[in-house]
Amino acid sequence: MYGALWRVLPGPVWLRIILVLILAAAVVFALFTWVFPLVDAYLNPIDVTVGDQ
């Protein structure tokens, strides 16, 4: 998969590296903005099942 992504990106190697870094930052941004809050709504970390001893 990464090889296919590398072949699709245009330009010389230095430009491809910059584009990969931008794409990775966009994926991390999307995860923290939309995906993780959505998952947190379904997995409530406050509801613990381990009792105090």
Residue by residue, pLDDT tens for the chain (53 residues) are 688 988 999 999 999 999 999 999 999 999 999 999 998 888 876 766 666 66
**Res 43: pLDDT:** 81
Q: What is the chain's alpha carbon radius of gyration, rounded to the nearest angstrom?
A: 19
Task: Assess contact for 32 and 24: CB atoms under 8 A.
Answer: no
> What local confidence, expressed as pLDDT, does residue 53 receive?
60
Q: Determine the Cα–Cα distance for residues 37 and 26; give it in Å rounded to an integer.
A: 16
Q: What amino acid is encoded at 13 in this protein? A: V
